[in-house]
Amino acid sequence: MAHTATPALPLIHRSHDYAWLMRRWKRIAKPKSNLTMRQYHEESGFAFFVIQSKHPRAGAPSLYLSAGIHGDEVGATEGLLGWAEQNIDTLAELNLTIFPCLNPWGLINNQRTNASGIDLNRTYHDTGAPSTHAHMRELSGRVFDLALNLHEDYDGRGLYIYEIKNKRPYWGETLLESASHIIGVDDRRIIDISRPKNGIIRRKVSADLMAEFPEAFVLYFHHARRTFTIETPSEHALPVRVEAQIAVVEQAVALLRQEPR
How far apart CA 134 and CA 129 sit, in angstroms, is 9
How far apart CA 19 and CA 46 sit, in angstroms, is 9
How far apart CA 136 and CA 138 sit, in angstroms, is 5
pLDDT category at 11 given cuts 50, 70, 90 is low
How far apart CA 98 and CA 54 sit, in angstroms, is 12
**CATH number of the domain encompassing residue 17:** 3.40.630.10
pLDDT at 13: 72
For residues 98 and 105, the answer to whether their CB atoms sit within 8 Å is no
Closest to 196 in 3D by CA, of 233, 158, 253: 158
How far apart CA 201 and CA 190 sit, in angstroms, is 10
For residues 79 and 65, the answer to whether their CB atoms sit within 8 Å is no
Prediction pTM value: 0.94
Percent of the chain with pLDDT over 70: 95
Give domain status of residue 58, yes or no. Answer: yes
Give domain status of residue 51, yes or no. Answer: yes
Question: pLDDT tens for residues 36-80?
Answer: 999 999 999 999 999 999 999 999 999 999 999 999 999 999 999
Strands 227-233 and 160-164: antiparallel
How far apart CA 12 and CA 243 sit, in angstroms, is 14
Give domain status of residue 160, yes or no. Answer: yes
Give the chain's domain count. 1
Question: pLDDT tens for residues 102-141?
Answer: 999 999 999 999 999 999 999 999 888 999 999 999 999 9
pLDDT at 12: 65
Give domain status of residue 24, yes or no. Answer: yes
pLDDT at 192: 87
Q: Which domain holds residue 180?
A: 13-258
Please state the φ and ψ torsions of residue 17, each to the nearest 5 degrees: -95, 95
Beta-ladder partners of 43: 46
Q: Mean pLDDT over all residues of the chain? A: 93
Give domain status of residue 60, yes or no. Answer: yes
For residues 156 and 231, the answer to whether their CB atoms sit within 8 Å is yes
Instruction: Measure CA of the first residue to CA of the last residue in the chain; give whole Å.
Output: 65
Give domain status of residue 193, yes or no. Answer: yes
Output the CA angle 240-198-224, nearest 5 degrees: 80
For residues 139 and 98, the answer to whether their CB atoms sit within 8 Å is no
- Asked if the model's pLDDT at residue 143 lies above 80, the reply is yes
Give domain status of residue 56, yes or no. Answer: yes
Give domain status of residue 5, yes or no. Answer: no
